[in-house]
Structure formats: C-alpha cells, structure tokens
Amino acid sequence: MYKRVTMFSVPNWVYWMVHIPSMGIRYPIYKLLHKDFNIYKEQLRIVNELRCACENYGDKDKDGNWNIKAWYKSSPRSIAVKVRFMKKATDNVYDNYRKQIENYTYSTTPYAFRDGCGVFNIILDFPPIMQFKASRTSVSVGTDYQGIFNWDYSKHPHALILGETGQGKTTFVYYLINGLLSASVSVWMIDGKCIDYNQYTKAFSNYLPYTGANYETVLDTIKRFKTAMQERIMEMRAKNINNYKQDKNMNPVFLIVDEYQVIAGALDKKQRTALSEEIGTIVRLGRAAGYILVITMQTAHSDYIPTAVRDNFEFKLVMGTASKTAYQMIFDDTDIKGLTVGKGRLKLGNDYHVLSIPLCNGIESAYLSTADPDSTTV
C-alpha cells in the first residue's frame, strides 16, 4: 500500500526528530527478529529526499496548499514512487524530480506517466542472486528489483554489451554463458583478447582466438554462423514454419564476439564494411531462426559498428559507469548516473532496467564438456 509523503516545508532536523520515537520502538524489534535496522533508516532517508524534492519542485497556492502530491511504497529491493503535480506540468518537470531523487539516493527506472501520476522505482542496493536459469527461449542475465531477470531472446534478440575495462563485462558474459550451457544451448565464441575464455575452449561449439593477424578466419567464422542460420531458415520453409520455436528439435545457437572493437579497430575501411555486412545480416534474420548474436565492446562508436546495425540490437546493456557518449548512443541521454562495478543499465526493446550481476569468475566445470561432439577450435 502506498503511503503519502508529507512535511514538505519542515527542516531536516525536524523530520528526524519526529521519527525518533518510531526508530526507538523498531530498533529492539529488528534486533529480536535479526533484521537489519540500517535498511529501515535508509528508507527513512530516501523518504526525506522525496519530501525535499517535493518542496523544491512544488509551489503553494494563495491558501497555502501545495500543488504537488507524492506517495511511496517500500519493498526489499526498491521503493516505488508516484508524484502528481496538481497543475499541468511538462515531462521535463517530472523527469527532473526523478533525477533529483536519483542524485541523492540510488539509481531509478525512467519515469512513466500512469493514472495521472509520474511513476518510477528507486532501485535499492541489493545482492544479486547466483542462479542459472535458461530455456530454448530465455536465459537469466542478472537480478533486478523484482528478482532474477530473464532475457527472452526469442522476443528481443541480439545483445550489445558496453563497458570500460573493469566495469563487469566479462563477469556478465561468464554468467550468460553458464546460463546458456545449463540448458545445453550451443555457443560459439570469437575471443578478442584471448585472456578470459581461452581456458574454457571445451565449453564452446566453436572457439576462435583473435590474434590480430587472422581477420580472414574471423570473417570466415562469422560467415559460417550466417550460413548455418540461412540453412535453418531454408529448413523452416520446407517444414512450413516461421519460427524455430515451432520445432522442438531446433535449438538456439549463440555467437559471442568479445571485445569487438579490438577486431574492428584493426581493419581497414573495406574489411570493416565486409564485417559489418555479415553482422547486419545475422541481426536482421537471426531472430526467427534462433541464431543470436552477442557483442561486447568498450564503446559502440559508429566507426566500429554502424548505427543502423547497432539499433537492431534489442538488448543493450551498459555496465558500471560509462562515458556520456556511450549513454547517448544507447539511451539518447547524457544525464545518466553511473553505477557501481557489477551493475548495469539495460535497455530491452523500449523498457529500461537496472541489473545486478552475480560475481561469476569463470565457466562451471560441469559445462566444459557440454559442447557439440564436433566442437572445434579454429
């Protein structure tokens, strides 16, 4: 149940004085129940920030009534917020209210306008759930404020993972691979650094280390993946089906290209164009066939991956804190608060999420023999 935010005009010290009695009552109860009392104090602090933001963005009429109302609802991983301006307000006013809350508390979801209110969630700091979940259509990719978050790649295919060094890209990919292998999904890997995955070659149906001098082999591997996709499309037509999910014997196949900018950055313009064309074909046609592309890179600059290709990736994740350029490319907004290492901002289709990624330092040994019998290292 939502609670009303009140006490807009009082100083901070008055707000805390009012809550001292309730804090005194709750403290021994929390101790007795072995609950973390600091969580309750943090929720009070956040409500105080909601109150202060109401004072900053609201006004009083001639009778002393505020033209803004706000409500909140607490849960273990988030605080849901509703705010309403009694006079007509622009999107910028609602979004600036949200941004002030984000600046003084935690990351938030973008605001949406529902039932006459601007609605958003404050994402609290919570530990991720270490559990691998996958099927023929989805895979766990982290934890959001509602629990384990599953990526339905049959609906939103192809992933672009951005992040500077040390922000958690590799941890995310390890977690993704473990999830896929837990469902016996075939995974191809083009390893741009030859550091993080070369000890796990047995996990992949195809593994190719990029050496800096084997561009033709990289291009050939991507072409083979594309050809396999096209052969499945022909098979689907012969069976008069339009999606791999309609045939239980057709399983998804993933191609992960790690540190794509290392590969693309070493190519001349002609080679880069040829690479982008192959990538573009997979991105356009892979969904129905269940051939899914995952690219990791530090920046999604159009010099490396054309904008038209980049925009066809339905799953776009920015790990940790990134540059304003990266935020602009993915979210069309530079005024975005960075996250701590191991957390990421996700744009999935038209929806936005904040994910916490479990600390995954490698591929589970149980999955190192799950690749196809004809698994190859090129």
pLDDT in tens, the chain (378 residues): 899 998 888 889 999 999 999 999 999 999 999 988 988 899 999 999 999 999 888 888 788 888 899 999 998 889 999 999 887 788 888 989 999 999 899 888 888 898 889 999 999 888 899 999 899 999 999 999 889 999 999 999 999 999 998 999 999 999 999 999 999 999 999 999 888 899 999 999 999 999 888 889 999 999 999 999 999 999 999 999 999 999 999 999 999 999 999 998 888 889 889 999 999 999 999 999 999 999 999 887 888 888 889 999 999 999 998 888 888 888 887 778 888 899 999 999 888 899 999 999 899 887 776 455 444 555
* Same domain assignment for residues 91 and 225: no
Per-residue model confidence (pLDDT) at position 372: 52
- 129, part of any domain: no
Q: pLDDT tens across 246-303, in order?
A: 999 999 999 999 999 999 888 888 988 999 999 999 999 999 999 999 999 988 788 8
CATH of the domain at 333: 3.40.50.300
Are 235 and 373 in the same domain?
yes
Q: Which domain holds residue 96?
A: 3-123
- Look at residues 321, 323, 302 and name the one whose alpha carbon lies nearest to residue 311: 302
Interval 11-35: pLDDT, tens = 899 999 999 999 999 999 999 999 8
Number of domain units in the chain: 2
Query: Does residue 132 lie in a domain region?
Result: no
The pLDDT score that the predictor gives to residue 80 is 94
> How many whole angstroms separate alpha carbon 143 and alpha carbon 148?
4
Where does a domain end: 73, 96, 123? 123
pLDDT at position 107, please? 87
pLDDT of residue 377: 55
CA distances from 59 to 8, 39, 52, 119, 120 (A): 10, 31, 12, 20, 22
Q: Distance of alpha carbon 267 from its chain centroid, rounded? A: 29
Q: Residues with Cβ < 8 Å from 358, sequence gap 6 or more? A: 128, 129, 130, 131, 142, 143, 171, 175
3-state secondary structure of 81: strand
- Indicate the residue among 96, 123, 150 that finishes a domain: 123
Q: How far, CA to CA in Å, does 25 sit from each of 17, 31, 76, 237?
A: 14, 11, 20, 69
Please indicate, yes or no, whether residues 150 and 108 belong to a single structural domain of this protein. Answer: no
80 lies in the same domain as 145: no
Last residue of a domain, one of 91, 123, 155: 123
